[in-house]
Amino acid sequence: MTLTETTTDTARDDDTFLDSLCGRLRPGAVIVDPTALRTYECDGLTGFRVTPSAVVLADTTEEVRQAVLTCREFGVPYVARGAGTGLSGGALPTSDGIVISLQRMRAILEIDPRNLRAVVEPGVTNIDITKAAAPFGLHFAPDPSSQQVCTVGGNVAENSGGAHCLKYGFTVHHVLELEVVLADGSVVRLGGVNREQPGYDLLAAFVGSEGTLGIVTQVVVRLVRNPATVHTLCADFPSITAASEAVTRIIAAGIVPAAIEMMDALAIEASEAAVGAGYSLDTAAALIVENDGPAAESKVEFEAVEQICRDTGTTKIRIAKDSAERAMIWRGRKAAFAAVGRISPDYIVQDGVVPRTRLSEILSRIGEKAAESGLRVANVFHAGDGNLHPLVLYSEAEGQLEQAEELSREIAELCVEMSGSLSGEHGIGTDKACSMPRMFTESDLAAMWRLRRAFDPEELCNPGKLLPTPRLCGEKPGVYVPHALEVSGDIERF
Amino acid sequence: MWEPDNAREVAECLRDAAQEHRALNIVGAGTAQYWGGDIRASTTLRIHKLDSVLRYEPGDMTIQVEAGMAVADLQSVVADHGQRLALDAARIDRGATVGGMLATADQGPAQLAFGGPRDLVIGATLVLSDGEIARSGGHVIKNVAGYDLARLVSGSLGTLAAITDLTFRLHPIPAATGTLSIETGIDEAVTYAEAIAETALEPVAAEWISGRLLIRFEGTRSGVHERLDAAAHITGVGTSILDDDEATQAWAQQAAVSSRNGHSAQDTTTLHGLARPSDVSSIVHAAERSCLEHGAVPTIGAGLLTGRVDLRIDAATLSAHAATVDQWRQDIESHDGTVTLRDRPEGLTDLIDAWGEPPSAVAALRAVKAAYDPGDLLGPGRFHPWF
Ligand SMILES: Cc1cc2nc3c(=O)[nH]c(=O)nc-3n(C[C@H](O)[C@H](O)[C@H](O)COP(=O)(O)OP(=O)(O)OC[C@H]3O[C@@H](n4cnc5c(N)ncnc54)[C@H](O)[C@@H]3O)c2cc1C
Ligand SMILES: Cc1cc2nc3c(=O)[nH]c(=O)nc-3n(C[C@H](O)[C@H](O)[C@H](O)COP(=O)(O)OP(=O)(O)OC[C@H]3O[C@@H](n4cnc5c(N)ncnc54)[C@H](O)[C@@H]3O)c2cc1C
């Protein structure tokens, strides 16, 4: 679907608004040139495009504040933007609104190895935090595949995860404090010097709020000590079912690897074409498992993982001999997403979650659905978390877009039916707002609206994201599908 | 006292209360009833009858239980499958409920490795002040769909909504656990703990309790032994590796600091201080100084790598309690930290506030409170003087 908005009100107050905005900010901070604005018309979900009326390139918290205050005065919506790698249309602008870009605020203000923390501006890339911490033997644990480019502000907004989040947790577990510009223009700090703080945990509620509760202008992140040892293997399996069984057994054995990732044959084919990391081309599925930690523990666990892989019928195990080989295995995994472009003209990335015991069930259902629709689906995902990333391959030129979107949406909703979630890490954004009623009832959503309005009563801060609205989804946006337990009468909803 | 049997009845209670403008004090097991400010509520809403397991999936390592279930009961259910909720707050032995745990955001020494209750909760059902039921999160360990209301009620002390059920992520019970102990002052204790952490030995807890350092490791039997030895090498002469009974006793002593024994200790106040880990030793010294000055007897427990300092003071007079709290609070606040008043003798809050400097986001806290409980019927007074 391509969403093209028409400006409702004509030029009306635009000029006074823009004059006012320019007047309050340093020269050159406001972009209005139509060609330059096109850079900001979409994020990583390129099917949704809207050109904003202006972009503010903020250098300081004060500039963000001035931009927010001006928007408030004129009733103009705004959306924060980091690197624009988001995959749910979270940073999609509105045509009558502006984009506030944080990408120029990229200073690393402090590394405090003693307290295991770093103070950074929101536009710092994820990988740059780890690079700055490396001399101290520390790193920033959340490691999205997009870590070379995505910003920590975006990570906070999306509560981003990554391959190693199975053991280390998500962004919410690694943020201590935020400086935020709220919708009323006030600058506040959420969280504090300690992970625990008195009062409602506004910090933790803010993380993952997709830019709808305020704009992050500074982040204090936790740094994690690099593990003493790391073991990585890549195991081939004759079927996705066998690989899924291995995942289930690893979890059931009480092992918490740093990462368990799965790639199917199509994903491997794409990745190999792109980076040639040495994955087997003749296997149905491969698991990448990494164990880290103190030497004795990680060795014992790694051997147990190896044994489980053998018991579940692995056909080949490749163990990384050194850090170079380990890096190569990961390169193949992290490149797989983008590499799919090599085997298909277009693709949609889906991001549903299922309980880990239901992996093989959902994967075979996805296979069936794909066969029905005549489209191919590649799978490369965080198996240990049950977080799927089915990539629906299609050709827009051959008119398959709608079919692909339909299949992708069905997959996400199937995850919900299986007691899972619509999104594990990419967020709801614009993309899935209208599917929210599949997962939540009207009263659940009403309770979420209370939070949103408490922070932003005028709904100017990234409107139209995360929560369904009649304008976006129609009056009756969808039907709540009761949970299996409700159907069986084990729990009630009333 | 209202004692509903299930979530539906909780909703009815809240609806009735809203209609009658009746203020409610939500109680789980009642182990933390005095934390924060004094409540002005005539009716107690006890959640303790909501105590069943709704859904347990050992293979997924997740469990959904009603909010009134005792954490200790939950632990024994999941222990049969070699699993645990990785929480070891002091109040658990006294029957603290899972709802009370999240509402107090209380955490024990294992916070170092696993975080607090909000880091382990993956789903929640809340009943709002008008009786509306709201769920957030779900049954999977990774989930970013919608706002996470479970995290919002973390630390809410019964003032935002009634929690009726929670879903948790579980962890495996480790094959072995080992504790190292050494009698030492706070300054050396901090140095040792930092040195042990720096060598990637991955302690799961590092606590100092009035003159004694305890470091806990978890893992395989041989691995834990290796790391205990390596850590003992750092702490040097005088270090002992505790056997199981000694360790149990030592950790019980740690728990006793932040948890007064019984309800009637009228001359005891417990305080919960939070600061940067690097400020712990100076905050411990400040606590000792304040107590000395005002004739109070301190018992101190400090999470060395987490920045938590629990102070229990025993003193003869109410004014000595108040003066000690006041002075220590000023000290911690000068280090950007906070102090929360927990258990205390009756009347103490007439002399000092339960809460110190409001955070910069206090207006947002108030706005959230107003959005969820516009009639101020849930735990009114708990966050006085912030709101
Ligand atoms: C190839 C590829 C691989 C990816 N892999 C992963 C992965 O493994 N795990 C994962 O979790 N995600 C992944 N993503 C998704 C994406 O990279 C993350 O969501 C990332 O955190 C977005 O950061 P960003 O700076 O690009 O944010 P943007 O796309 O610019 O914005 C994302 C959202 O955050 C908000 N936002 C941005 N900055 C701020 C701020 N300072 N204050 C408030 N709100 C703000 C925006 O309004 C928007 O709603 C991947 C994306 C791509 C393209
Ligand atoms: C079996 C038993 C029976 C008892 N009977 C009595 C008695 O009859 N009368 C009496 O006075 N004392 C009684 N006590 C003692 C009293 O229970 C304790 O002092 C107190 O109940 C501690 O409960 P908690 O540890 O679960 O958290 P609580 O101390 O109950 O709660 C801590 C904080 O969390 C909030 N909270 C707790 N649960 C929820 C929830 N589900 N949703 C939202 N907020 C919540 C509370 O409002 C409070 O602010 C009893 C104790 C036990 C163990």
Are B383 and B370 contacting, i.e. CB atoms less than 8 angstroms apart? Answer: no
Residue of B33, B93, B163 to test ligand 2 pocket, by largest number of atoms within 8 Å of CB: B33
Q: For chain B, give me the number of helices (H) and strands (E)? A: 13, 17
Per residue of chain B (387 residues), give pLDDT as tens: 999 999 999 999 999 999 999 999 999 988 888 889 999 998 999 999 999 999 999 999 999 999 999 999 999 999 999 999 999 988 888 889 999 999 999 989 999 999 999 999 999 999 999 999 999 999 999 999 999 999 999 999 999 999 999 999 999 999 999 999 999 999 999 999 999 999 989 999 999 998 999 999 999 999 999 999 999 999 999 999 999 999 999 999 888 887 765 444 678 999 999 999 999 999 999 999 999 999 999 999 999 999 999 999 998 899 999 999 999 999 999 999 999 999 889 899 999 999 999 999 999 999 999 999 999 999 999 999 999
Nearest C-alpha neighbor of A25 from the set A59, A72, A75: A59
Q: What number does the ligand 2 atom closest to the CA of B103 have?
A: 34
Instruction: Please tell me which of the candidates A425, A432, A448 has its beta carbon nearest to residue B147.
Output: A448
Ligand 2: residue whose CA is nearest its atom 6:
B30
Under an 8 A CB cutoff, do B151 and A204 touch?
Answer: yes
φ/ψ of B82, rounded to 5, equals 70, 25
N residues, chain B? 387
Tell me, what's the ipTM? 0.96
Exposed / middle / buried, residue A315 (Cβ in 10 Å: 0-12, 13-18, 19+): middle
Q: Give A-chain residues touching B371 at CB under 8 angstroms.
A: 450-451, 453-454
Give the E-state strand segments of chain B in sequence order. 24-27, 43-46, 53-57, 62-66, 83-84, 121-127, 133-137, 162-169, 171-172, 176-183, 205-209, 212-219, 240-241, 268-274, 297-303, 308-314, 338-341
Overall pTM > 0.90: yes
Q: Are strands A98-101 and A78-81 parallel, antiparallel or unpaired?
A: parallel
Q: Measured from the CB, is residue B27 less than 6 Å from ligand 2? A: yes
Instruction: Please tell me which of the candidates B57, B338, B368 has its beta carbon nearest to residue A200.
Output: B368
